[in-house]
Amino acid sequence: MKETNGRTLFILLCQLALVLILLVGITGCNRGRSGAQDGEVTITFRTWFPDPSVWDDLLIPAWDAKRTGIKAEIVQVAYSDHFPSLKVSMASGEGPDMIGLQTGAPLEEFQEFLLDITPRAVQTWGSNWERQWFPSIMSLVKGKIDGYYGLPIGSSHAGHIWANMAYFNKYNLRVPTNYNELLAVTRTFRTNGELPLLIGARDDWINLDVFINIVSDINGQKFFDAIEGRSSFTDPDIIQALTIWKNLFDQGIFQDGALGVNVYSDVTSIFEDEKLAPMYCNGDWSVSDLDRAGGVFEIFTMDWNNDGKPAPVAPTVSIVFSINKESKHMEETWQFYSWFTTEGSRPLMDYYLYIPTLVDQVVDVSRLSPDTQKNFANAQQIANDRAAFYREISYPRLRQTLADQLKAVALGESTPQRAAEIIEAASRVERR
């Protein structure tokens, strides 16, 4: 009897030990999946940017070294899927703690789900907290919204042309500064069997970038007043800009068949990879791509109406990071967020070569070639001296009408006057 009881007790102890082992194993698997250690709080950050490798290799090690007990996990979503699916998750109350957004319409669309960071920013940085960032950048972030619902990391600017100096040196040419000089150098290139200025005019965005640059050189205020319905697109200054746009195609400044190719990767392959063209249209964000391409390039801007004044460049915020106002870990999220959007953004700025949005931020360009360092410095100087207006158009239907008419004018299917009238008609029915 005693032997039986002993055997039974032994079996029960073995079963209990097995249960404990299984429980420990399950707990360990859950901890592994969440990535959090005992006592850590995990916050989630949903975005299409930065690349996971940059997040894991550059950002998280710097954050983990601070030993805050807060683990930040990135949820990477393709840009094309990010916004539609984000709206669903936010509306259902299942949204992340932090979110990557863009200025303009996206930020306005998600405002109802976001935290106005102003009170916490004042508490963390003082009453003049927003002066850490350039005023022009903060005005883009704020837009038409009352309050601040995000903070920027990096800026870029549209309205530049890039030159491959090998072609200019070959034909003893100088980089053009105005329309007349641009026309002259493209004629020289064409006469010698070279391509002229490349544009991927199949893409609406580059057409809009170039046109906004042209109209901003003439009278940007009138154009952006027209965007807001305060003036007319049939103003003579806007028609002049449409005429210059038309002449770029008619006079052969842009390459033949420009409307049939895109920027990425048709034009970039020709200009950056194969180096078969002397110039192409693209913004200052190309500096990192051209550094990897090798060669000697030069960034410049244009005086489109030959009045002796170069056109301003249009700023845009690379990305805005916001906080879900329903975050279940608000204190931990703010602790990470306030670091990430200031000192913690340095690795991103250095890696992607963005123009700084923080006044005292300096990008480390020591790893770059001397030519790229010069271009980055020039791009930053242009941005500091001549950034004006903005790149985004907040009204999708009006934006599309403008884009369609730019193509119609380029193809000769519409005149500048008629295009302006069609855009104005669309503007009058636009809900603002």
Name the domain boundary from 352, 377, 406.
Answer: 352
Can you give the pLDDT at residue 26?
27
Query: Does residue 35 have a pLDDT over 90?
Result: no
**What gap in Å lies between CA 318 and CA 49, rounded to an integer?**
10
What per-residue confidence (pLDDT) applies to 27?
Answer: 30
34 or 237, which is more confident?
237
Range of the domain at 73: 41-154+316-352
Asked if residue 29 belongs to a domain, the reply is no
Question: Residue type for 411, please?
Answer: L
Residue 14: predicted pLDDT: 40
pLDDT of residue 23: 34
| Residue 122 confidence (pLDDT) | 98
Instruction: Check pLDDT > 60 for residue 423.
Output: yes
pLDDT of the residue at 36: 52
CATH code where residue 411 lies: 3.40.190.10
Summarised one tens digit per residue, pLDDT across range 129-150 is 999 999 989 999 998 889 999 9
Does residue 390 have a pLDDT over 50? yes
> Please, are residues 228 and 144 in contact by the beta-carbon 8 Å criterion?
no
Helices 204-227 and 416-428 sit at what angle, rounded to 10 degrees? 60
The answer on 287 and 260 residing in a single domain is yes
pLDDT category of residue 80 using cuts at 50, 70 and 90: confident
pLDDT above 70: residue 18: no
Whether 12 maps to a domain, the answer reads no
Instruction: Examine the pLDDT at 192 and tell me if it is beyond 90.
Output: yes
* Domain assignment of residue 276, yes or no: yes
Least confident of 25-29, 123-127, 339-343: 25-29
Do 130 and 205 have their domain in common?
no
Based on the structure, what is the number of domains in the chain?
2
Please, are residues 36 and 6 in contact by the beta-carbon 8 Å criterion?
no
Work out the mean pLDDT of the chain and round it to a whole number: 90
The model's pTM: 0.82
Q: Is residue 239 part of a domain?
A: yes
Asked whether 150 and 117 are in contact (CB, 8 A), the reply is yes
172 and 58, same domain (yes or no): no
Indicate if 178 and 272 belong to the same structural domain.
yes
Same domain, 85 and 193: no
Which is it for the CA torsion 197, 202, 205, 211, positive or negative? positive
| The pLDDT value given to residue 394 | 84
- Give me the sign of the Cα torsion angle 60, 62, 66, 67: positive
Angle between helices 236-250 and 416-428 (to 10 degrees): 130
Q: Report the pLDDT value the prediction gives residue 136, as an integer from 0 to 100.
A: 86
Residues 87 and 193 in one domain: no
Instruction: Flag whether pLDDT at 13 surpasses 60.
Output: no
Q: Does residue 1 register a pLDDT over 60? A: no
Nearest residue to 153 (alpha-carbon basis) of 289, 355, 385: 355
Residues 203 and 240 in one domain: yes
Does residue 376 fall inside a structural domain?
Answer: no
What mean pLDDT do residues 22-36 have?
A: 33
Given a cut of 90, whether residue 37 has pLDDT beyond it is: no
Is residue 113 domain-shared with residue 199, that is, in the same domain?
Answer: no
- Chain segment 307-358, per-residue pLDDT in tens: 999 999 999 999 999 999 999 999 999 999 999 999 999 999 999 899 999 9
Please check whether residue 214 is in contact with residue 244, taking contact to mean a CB–CB distance below 8 angstroms: yes
Q: What is the DSSP string of 93-142?
A: T---SEEEE-TTHHHHHTGGGB---HHHHHHHH-TTGGGGB-HHHHHHHH
- Report whether pLDDT(32) > 80: no
Can you give the pLDDT at residue 15? 42
Give the Å distances, CA to CA, from 426 to 159, 399, 405, 407, 423.
25, 10, 11, 16, 5
Q: Are residues 308 and 320 in the same domain?
A: no
| The pLDDT value given to residue 421 | 98
pLDDT digits (tens, 9 = 90+) for 234-263: 999 999 999 999 999 999 999 999 999 999
Both 332 and 225 in one domain: the answer is no
Percent of the chain at pLDDT exceeding 70: 91
Domain contains 337? yes
153-176 per-position pLDDT tens digit? 999 999 999 999 999 999 999 999
Q: Band of the pLDDT at 106, cuts 50, 70, 90?
A: confident
Mean pLDDT of 98-106: 91
* pLDDT given at position 391: 92
Please report, in angstroms and rounded to a whole number, the separation of the first and last CA atoms in the chain.
90
In a domain, 374, yes or no: no
Is 333 within the bounds of a domain?
yes
Do 177 and 69 sit in the same domain of this protein? Answer: no
Same domain as 49, residue 130: yes
